[in-house]
Structures are given as C-alpha cells and as structure tokens.
Amino acid sequence: MSGIAIMMMVLFMVIIWGGLAAAIIHLRKHPDEVSGDLRDYEYASDDALVAQEHVK
C-alpha cells in the first residue's frame, strides 16, 4: 500500500470509530427513556405500559 492509501485508511477508520464512540457517549448521557417523543411522561413508564396491557 502506498502512503496515501494508508493515510486515507487511518483517517476513515478514525472517522467511523470516532462516530461510533460519540454515539455511545451521547446515548449514555441521553438514554432512550427520556429522549423519545413521550420523553419522561408519567403514563409512558414501563410500569404504566405493562399495566395497560393487562386491562382489556
């Protein structure tokens, strides 16, 4: 491999793995439970949703 090819490979590996690391860090700081459309709405908790499944 030429020097330019190695440089491009390293650059894009840093971009891809860096994006993955940034996504993981962002998800740890902003978990799905509070980042969706319902956010932390009291009737969207796991317990409330499970209770609604059994009511028919």
Phi, psi dihedral angles at 35 (to 5 degrees): -115, 0
- pLDDT, tens only, 2-41: 999 999 999 999 999 999 999 999 988 877 666 666 666 7
Q: Averaged over 51-56, what is the pLDDT?
A: 71
How many Å apart are CA 33 and CA 16, to the nearest integer?
Answer: 26
Q: How confident is the model at residue 1 (pLDDT cuts 50, 70, 90)?
A: confident
> Would the pTM of this model clear 0.85, i.e. be above it?
no
For residues 53 and 56, give the distance between their C-alpha atoms in angstroms, rounded to a whole number.
8
Domain definitions of the chain by residue range: 3-55
Contacts of 44 (CB under 8 A, 6+ apart): 38
What is the phi/psi pair of residue 53, to 5°? -65, -35
pLDDT grade for 47, boundaries at 50, 70 and 90: confident
Write down the pLDDT at residue 33.
Answer: 65
